[in-house]
């Protein structure tokens, strides 16, 4: 426990503030079984009787939301409880570089299209309140310079996620947000006075605390415990399933091409018993061959849009790849015919048409798969074989036999339904003063910085709403207090 928190909890333990009104008790530590600090550590500065916001989860949404709440309402006590390491996903994100947001999508409608779960709901005010431009501005105003790469992904110029973490943590500290790690919020309920009773435990010991909080922000990512808290407070959960995974393809010849990448392919997923032609099940973008199948942005996008269907079909389906999406079938045949006449004395393997932009290893795969001997001369290839090669390049079929292993899953589809919260405040429609932000909600985006953007936007909106409520409550209390003093003065 850091010094600030030692002081914080000690203070909580000794607080004997009286409730100010039915909804606002300040905060009280009801049950701290391990209190090993001396009274000398009781802070002079810790304000008593102010309201408390407990944030469940020290990820992007939780920390950003906590900072924002404290900024709007500096008097509010803000405590972030993190069961593991603070901002641990930020650390590993983007291959350690952290793809903070996306710089190419400034239009809300276009931006929303990048969220397989959430694309309808996020078209509204959500990103207007705090969108990618606001995120970029926020980080640059807090000392982190960002750069936008050609594909729209935004990274810190340091190319290190530590820049983002250092910035968030120093801002949290500067604002007075208290962060406690290694503790789990195991249950949350509402007491008769409308406050949240929050139970906090340590995994390794029998440590247990009960906090009374005025506001609760659940920003627990895809953690099961977060879903449990949401259901304890009356919310439902859309079954969580993985999104953003690679496709397992059983094709030993393809596996030999592991590491080969294609800058632009068109991929189409067809699934059994799925009659409707879902436009998002066709994607264009880079693709990569791995030792177990296919990966890269085009595949990850397909996996995201097909996440629920693929889950229900045990991750089986047919994938059709167009390796030359910018060349029409007729032009492709003409190119092959021209090659046949121009390179008569060259072996097929050594003279792949340059227009295709494919590497020799993949050209060999195509010839093998079409059953054409790679060592014959162009002069001796039949026209039927040329048509077969052209068809293969345009409609190459792969059987998807499963998904990549767990570590490849970047995000979870499912969580608290958006219909149960107000997106303009991130407040629960079921429980007042309960807020959600980030991946705990049934929102997930494709790759490119969209998932963090959901976390920043949700955290910011929730923090703003909580801050405003806390300011209102403070003003109300001050008015009450002022009236009370005046009344007493009159009486005496």
Name the site residues for ligand FAD (rule: CB under 6 A). Answer: 56-62, 81-84, 88-89, 92-94, 98-99, 184-185, 219-221, 223, 225-226, 410-411, 438-439, 449-452, 455
Distance, CA of 152 to CA of 159 (rounded, Å): 15
CB of 405 to ligand FAD, least distance (A): 12
CB of 119 to ligand FAD, least distance (A): 16
Nearer Cβ to ligand FAD (411/413): 411
Among 86, 88, 54, 47, which Cα is nearest to 69's? 54
CB of 410 to ligand FAD, least distance (A): 4
Nearer Cβ to ligand FAD (245/315): 245
CB of 415 to ligand FAD, least distance (A): 9
CB of 18 to ligand FAD, least distance (A): 30
Tell me the backbone φ, ψ of residue 125, rounded to 5 degrees. -80, -10
Task: Compute and round to an integer the Cα radius of gyration of the chain.
Answer: 28
Q: Following DSSP, what letter does each residue of 63-123 receive, concatenated?
A: HHHHHHHHHH-TTSEEEEEESS-TTHHHHHHHHHT---EESS--SHHHHHTT-TBTTTGGG
CA 101, 106, 110, 112 dihedral sign is: positive
CB of 423 to ligand FAD, least distance (A): 15
CB of 184 to ligand FAD, least distance (A): 4
Nearer Cβ to ligand FAD (77/243): 243
Nearer Cβ to ligand FAD (209/322): 209
Nearer Cβ to ligand FAD (32/154): 154
Nearer Cβ to ligand FAD (51/439): 439
Nearer Cβ to ligand FAD (77/447): 447
- Name the token pair of 421: 């919260």
Residue pair 474/138 in contact (Cβ under 8 Å)? The answer is no
* CA separation, residue 290 to residues 257, 260, 294, 403, 409 (Å): 8, 8, 6, 12, 15
CA 164, 167, 171, 177 dihedral sign is: positive
CB of 448 to ligand FAD, least distance (A): 7
Nearer Cβ to ligand FAD (151/251): 151
Q: Following DSSP, what letter does each residue of 405-418 receive, concatenated?
A: -GGG--EEEEEB-G
Among 67, 98, 340, 96, which Cα is nearest to 217's? 67
| Rounded (5°) CA angle 6-10-13 | 145
């Amino acid at each position: 426990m850091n010094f600030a928190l030692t002081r914080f909890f000690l203070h909580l333990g000794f607080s004997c503030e009286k409730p100010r009104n039915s909804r606002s008790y300040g905060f009280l530590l009801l049950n701290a079984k391990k209190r090993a600090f001396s009274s000398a550590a009781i802070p002079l500065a810790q304000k008593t009787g102010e309201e408390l916001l407990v944030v469940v989860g020290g990820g992007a949404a939780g920390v950003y939301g906590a900072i924002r709440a404290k900024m709007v309402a500096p008097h509010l006590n803000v405590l972030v409880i993190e069961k593991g390491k603070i901002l641990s996903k930020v650390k590993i994100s983007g291959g350690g570089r952290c793809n903070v947001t996306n710089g190419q999508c400034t239009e809300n409608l276009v931006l929303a299209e990048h969220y397989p779960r959430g694309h309808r709901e996020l078209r509204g005010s959500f990103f207007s309140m705090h969108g990618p431009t606001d995120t970029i501005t926020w980080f640059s105003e807090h000392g982190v310079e960002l750069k936008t790469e050609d594909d729209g992904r935004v990274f810190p110029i340091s190319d290190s996620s530590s820049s983002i973490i250092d910035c968030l943590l120093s801002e949290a500290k500067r604002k007075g947000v208290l962060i406690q790690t290694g503790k789990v919020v195991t249950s949350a309920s509402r007491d008769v006075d409308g406050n949240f009773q929050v139970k906090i435990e340590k995994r390794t010991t029998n440590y247990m605390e009960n906090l009374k909080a005025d506001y609760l922000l659940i920003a627990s990512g895809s953690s099961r415990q977060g879903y449990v808290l949401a259901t304890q407070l009356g919310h439902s959960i859309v079954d969580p399933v993985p999104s953003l995974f690679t496709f397992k393809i059983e094709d030993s010849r393809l596996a030999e091409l592991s590491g080969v990448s294609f800058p632009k392919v068109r991929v189409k997923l067809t699934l059994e018993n799925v009659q409707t032609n879902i436009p998002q099940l066709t994607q264009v973008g880079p693709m990569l061959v791995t030792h177990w199948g296919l990966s890269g942005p085009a595949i990850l996008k397909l996996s995201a849009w097909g996440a629920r269907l693929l889950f229900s079909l045990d991750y089986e389906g047919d994938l059709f790849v167009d390796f030359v999406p910018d060349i029409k079938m007729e032009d492709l045949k003409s190119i092959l015919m021209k090659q046949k006449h121009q390179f008569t004395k060259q072996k097929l393997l050594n003279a792949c048409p340059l227009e295709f932009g494919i590497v020799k290893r993949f050209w060999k795969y195509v010839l093998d798969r079409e059953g054409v001997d790679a060592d014959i001369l162009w002069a001796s290839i039949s026209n039927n074989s040329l048509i077969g090669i052209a068809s293969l390049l345009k409609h190459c079929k792969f059987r998807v036999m499963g998904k990549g292993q767990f570590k490849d899953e970047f995000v979870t589809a499912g969580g608290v339904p958006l219909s149960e919260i107000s997106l303009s405040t991130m407040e629960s429609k079921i429980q007042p003063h309960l807020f959600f932000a980030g991946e705990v909600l049934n929102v997930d985006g494709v790759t490119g910085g969209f998932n963090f953007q959901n976390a920043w936007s949700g955290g910011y909106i929730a923090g703003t709403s909580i801050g405003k409520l806390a300011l209102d409550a403070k003003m109300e209390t001050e008015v009450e207090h002022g009236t009370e003093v005046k009344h007493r003065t009159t009486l005496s």
